[in-house]
Amino acid sequence: MEFKASQIAELLQGEVVGDENTVVSGVSKIEEGQPQTIAFLANPKYEHYIYETKASIVLVNNTFEPSDKISATLIKVEDAYQAVASLLQMYDEMRPKPRGIEEPSFISKSAKLGEKIYIGAFAYIGSNVSIGNNVSIYPQVYIGDNVKIADNVTIYPGVKVYRDCKLGENVVIHAGSVIGADGFGFAPSNHKDYKKVPQIGNVVLEDNVEIGANTCIDRATMGSTIIRHGVKLDNLIQVAHNSEIGSNTVMAAQTGVAGSTKIGKDCMFGGQVGISGHLSVADGVKLAAQTGVASSIRKENEILQGTPAFNISDFRKSYVHFRKLHILANKIDELEKELKNLKS
C-alpha cells in the first residue's frame, strides 16, 4: 500500500515542505532510512542524519529549521514523536487481524463468547468463562474456569489465566505471562517445614492495562490482587499476592513487588526494582533501576535510588564519595598521624 505526502500530512494535520506527491510504502528509522519509506526526527541529537537519510519523507517538529540541504520531503507537525506513534498505529491497524475459531481448540460448553472474536488453535477455555466482543485469544492460551474477559482484549500465545480472574476492556497480555497463580503463602509448622495456605482470591486487571511477556501476577490469598486502570508492566515482572498497583503506573522489566504492597498512581519504576511486602508507595514516585524499597514512601513524586532506597540526589552525593572511599580513608589515617605528631 502506498501513501502520498499530502495524504499523510492531512491525516497528521501537518504541512508538507517539498513534493506533495512523494510516495512511501513503509516506515524506517532515520539512520537506516530507505527510499519509499517515511522516517521521523524528534530528538535533536539525531539531526545530522536528516541531511543524509535516504528516506523519502521525514516527519519533523514545526520548530525544526534545517541547517543544510535535505533531499527528503518534510512533513512538519506539532509533535513528531506523537505523530509517528499515530502513524505506526495506522500502519499497525492495516495489518489483517485473525478472526474466527481455529481447530483444534477446547471451549467449554458453558463458556459465553462475544462477537468478532479470535480463538487460536490449542487454546483452552474453561467452564463459565465469559468473553466479550472483539477479543483475540491466540494459540495455546489457557483461560481457567469463571474468568471474565471484557471487550477488545488481546491475549498473546501461551498466556495462562487461572480461574476466577477478571480482565477489563482493552487489556493486552503478552506471550507466556501467568495471571492468577497461587500467591507464595506458607505457614511454618512445628517441624521446620511449611504448610501451604490456599490462595482462594483472584487477580483483577482493570481497563487499558498492558502486561509484557513472561510476567507473573499472583492471585490474592483472599480478595483480589488489583492492577488499576492504565497500568503498563514490562516483561518478567513479579507482582505478589494481595498487591495493588495504582492507575497509570509504569514498571520496567524484571521489577518485583512483594505481597500486600500498595503502589500509588502515576509512578514510574526502572528495571530490576524490588519492593518489600506490606508497604505503601505514594502517587507519582519514581524509582531508579535496581532500587530496593524496604519501607513505605509517603512523599508524593519523590525520586529515589539505592538499596535500601533514599532520595536520589542524596544517593548521588553519597555515591560520588563511595567511589573514592579509599582516598577518604587515607586522609583520615593521615590526619591521625599528623595529630599524633602535633601532640607529641
Residues 182-211 touching a second copy, rule: CB under 8 A, are 182, 184, 186-187, 192-200, 208, 210
- Judged by CB, which is closer to a second copy: 129, or 236? 236
* Residue 187 near residue 194, CB atoms below 8 Å: yes
Instruction: Convert residues 96-135 into a mask of x (bound to a second copy by CB under 8 A) and - (unbound).
Output: ------x-x-x-------------xxx-x-----------
Q: Name the DSSP class of 315.
A: H
Considering the rule CB under 8 A, would residue 69 count as an interface residue with a second copy?
no
Annotated catalytic, 241? yes
Q: Which of 241, 278, 321, 326 is catalytic?
A: 241
DSSP H or E run through 224: strand 224-227
CA–CA gap between residue 166 and residue 195 (Å, rounded): 28
Q: Which of 21, 67, 82, 295 binds a second copy (CB under 8 A)?
A: 82
Q: How far apart are CB 20 and a second copy at their closest, in Å? A: 24
Count, residues near a second copy per rule CB under 8 A = 107
CA–CA gap between residue 260 and residue 99 (Å, rounded): 39
Q: What is the DSSP string of 80-121?
A: HHHHHHHHHHHHHHHSPPP-EE-SS-EE-TT-EE-SS-EE-T
Considering the rule CB under 8 A, would residue 181 count as an interface residue with a second copy?
yes
Q: Which of 14, 254, 269, 279 binds a second copy (CB under 8 A)?
A: 254
Q: How far apart are CB 77 and a second copy at their closest, in Å? A: 14
Edge to edge, what strands does the sheet with 280-281 contain?
A: 112-113, 130-131, 148-149, 166-167, 202-205, 224-227, 244-245, 262-263, 280-281
**Residue (of 239, 236, 250, 159) closest to 147 by Cα position:** 159
- Judged by CB, which is closer to a second copy: 19, or 145? 145
CA–CA gap between residue 49 and residue 141 (Å, rounded): 43
Q: Which of 29, 54, 116, 262 binds a second copy (CB under 8 A)?
A: 29
* Residue 72 near residue 56, CB atoms below 8 Å: yes
Considering the rule CB under 8 A, would residue 85 count as an interface residue with a second copy?
yes
Q: Which of 64, 118, 162, 269 binds a second copy (CB under 8 A)?
A: 162
Q: How far apart are CB 329 and a second copy at their closest, in Å? A: 5
Q: Which of 11, 175, 303, 312 binds a second copy (CB under 8 A)?
A: 175
In the numeric block, which cell numbers belong to residue 318? 553519597
Q: How far apart are CB 203 and a second copy at their closest, in Å? A: 12
Considering the rule CB under 8 A, would residue 296 count as an interface residue with a second copy?
no
Q: How far apart are CB 118 and a second copy at their closest, in Å? A: 13
Query: Tell me, what amino acid is at 125?
Result: I
Which residues are designated catalytic? 241
